[in-house]
Structure 1
Amino acid sequence: MQRYLTFSYSDNLSKQVYLQLPDSLKLTGDSDSELLLILRLLSGNVELTHNYSNIAIKSRVNYFSGDLVRLRNWKKDFPVLFSEDTTAEDLSIFVQNTKYINRSFYSVILAEISHFILHTKKGAHTSAFIYIYRILEKISYAFPLIYTSKTQDFLKSFDKLKELMVGDKEKKELGFFKKFIDILYKNDSLSDTSIDINLNPNDSSVREQMFKSLKEVIDSSIIHEDSTEYYMLAIKYTDMGSFIITLRNRFFHNLNGGAKNIESNKIVDSDELFSFINPMAMHWIAMVFLQVTSYSLSEFQKHRQHAVI
């Protein structure tokens, strides 16, 4: 029996920009690269169709930007997110030559992101958060392994990462991925910044309860100094993964004893709460994805140059 195709993807760029793109960066619907679909979807220029419900969504949100603003000219503006001298042609060659590498992994991530966008469109933000966490689970082991396979400089640090792969589940979730993120952003100015979650419910009392409920369940060490009481919860950049995991544990697991849980009566409306959290959580995941892909692109270009020489 043929597998049901849950999502379909088509190009949502302006005709002018679309015509300027190299062919391998265009979406044709015919065996498109999953990596390309992820990059295009997260940067906000894909029309996503959920075939079962026939819901079509013109993705406009650019999760690679902290303010989520859409790129004006994808061909010119997106490649420079990798580096100032990266061009659309560079990205095209990379996508074309790595199309079948780790394809099953990227296919899974693409599906999770697509479900996130679908549930966000429906206003089901609590459900959408589940897909954020599912993505985090998938990348928490795969990204370090992909990264180590691309760069020799990381191999020494990988010995330390392997030590974190044993032990209890909580240690593996928090420790392994957190160590990887710390290494990934070592000497990067981003590590000193924060992911800022603005709480904007209509009622000030609800905003205060939401803020307190989140602050009570997370470790104070991951809260950035830029936080503004009751209005903005700033999470240290490299600790955003820990924040997501804690939210999953303290809201969805609702365990008895030990750590404090998020009480549903205090947050009033979970969909509204997660509507504030989800965009910034996905932004952070998108940036980690970009960072790992950037290393893969850099290593690909090095090997290609050596092959030519």
Structure 2
Amino acid sequence: MTDRYVYIDPIFSKGAGALVGLSLHENNSSALRIFRLLTGTCTIHDVFFNKKFKSAINYLNFPYTQNSRSNKKTLLEMFPEDVTLEDISEYFCKLKNNEEFYASIEFELINCVVARKSERYLESFIFLYRILEGISYSIPLIYVSKSRSFNASFRSLQQYMPTKNNEGELLFFKNFIKTHWSKENFYKLTLDIDIGSIEVEEMRSIYFKIYKEKAKNCIEGETEDEELKITFLGFMQFMIELRNRYFHFLQGGWQKNISTSQIIFPDLFFKPIVDLGINWISIALFEVIKFDMENHGKT
């Protein structure tokens, strides 16, 4: 981790005792840092610019919520009632598996959150998409690696594999989600784009039309120029479509790309998407953390 960002812990001071595994002062685990970032229970100090960013949005709630204050309860309420703070601390102390995966995601996530806090929404979306790509192949492999049967593992992987060479890792992840998470409560909920959060009123109908066009058949409900409700799985495809249509600008093809002259304010265009996207990514990452906890020590 570069020295540019330093974590400030508003909950635990040094000498946290049995809860040392949850302390950002005493545990440098990337998985812990991701957990604390996503629960909105830390402050990020950008040493280079000498700026501090208080992370106060709990993205592990679905939909995400604003923390009134950071405390131990915020960390505990993410888990079932029979799990204690000591249990969570012990897990983060002993966690060694998949640390390389968590470390690769951590720096992308902190840049995503800092850009969002600075209202650089286009930049934040870039890091958000990098995280999506970063987890798309790793998460299914983490699940399969815990299987005690090689044959079962191979059959599981076969279920997710794309059938065409150009379909890639994102489809691999999409197939995994449909197989493993379709019965989870969050899978049945929608991500609701609030068009009213766009400050320039003249752009709302324009953005609404573009969002709707790119969301295609993933829309569960809508209120014209006010709100779009997109399915959990569909939101992943929506993020991919936005990335492909805005960051690619080849002319003359069959795909209808988004030009900057259409949206005029790129940061404003991505503003209603970013928090929802971080919320989506957070749910996926937390499923891995919980899965790691449940299968800790298995080979």
TM superposition score normalised by structure 2: 0.88
Amino acid of the structure 1 residue aligned with 2:134? K
**CA offsets, 1:228-287, max 9 Å, x none?**
221112211122221111111011112331121123233231111211110010001001
Alignment correspondent of 1:221? 217
Report which stretch shifted further, 4-13 or 241-250: 4-13
TM superposition score normalised by structure 1: 0.85
- Equivalents in 2 of 1:193, 1:187: separation in Å? 11
Report which stretch shifted further, 278-287 or 149-158: 149-158
SS, match of residue 81 in structure 1: coil
For the 8 Å contact 1:185–1:238, the answer to whether it is kept is no
Alignment correspondent of 2:8? 10
Quickly say closer, same or farther: Cα 1:120–1:228, change in 2 above 3 A: same
Quickly say closer, same or farther: Cα 1:71–1:108, change in 2 above 3 A: farther
SS, match of residue 9 in structure 1: strand
Q: 2:246 aligns with which of 233, 248, 251?
A: 251
- Equivalents in 2 of 1:74, 1:150: separation in Å? 33
Which segments of 5 or more consecutive residues in structure 1 lack a partner in the other structure?
A: 305-309
2:22 is equivalent to residue 22 of structure 1: no
Map of 1:1-309 to 2, 5 A cutoff?
5-13=3-11, 22-28=19-25, 32-65=28-61, 66-70=63-67, 74-98=71-95, 100-151=96-147, 155=153, 156-161=155-160, 163-164=161-162, 167-168=165-166, 171-200=167-196, 201-218=198-215, 220-224=216-220, 226-256=221-251, 257-300=253-296
For the 8 Å contact 2:42–2:55, the answer to whether it is kept is yes
- Equivalents in 1 of 2:224, 2:17: separation in Å? 47
Amino acid of the structure 2 residue aligned with 1:10? I
- Equivalents in 1 of 2:54, 2:200: separation in Å? 31
- Equivalents in 1 of 2:148, 2:289: separation in Å? 16
- Equivalents in 2 of 1:165, 1:23: separation in Å? 47
For the 8 Å contact 1:165–1:172, the answer to whether it is kept is no
- Equivalents in 1 of 2:70, 2:288: separation in Å? 23
- Equivalents in 1 of 2:144, 2:121: separation in Å? 34
Quickly say closer, same or farther: Cα 1:73–1:151, change in 2 above 3 A: farther
Shift of 1:119: 1.3
- Equivalents in 1 of 2:35, 2:147: separation in Å? 21
Alignment correspondent of 1:307? none
SS, match of residue 7 in structure 2: strand
Shift of 1:108: 1.9
Shift of 1:110: 0.9
- Equivalents in 2 of 1:118, 1:90: separation in Å? 30
Equivalent pairs: percent with the same residue?
30
Aligned length: 292
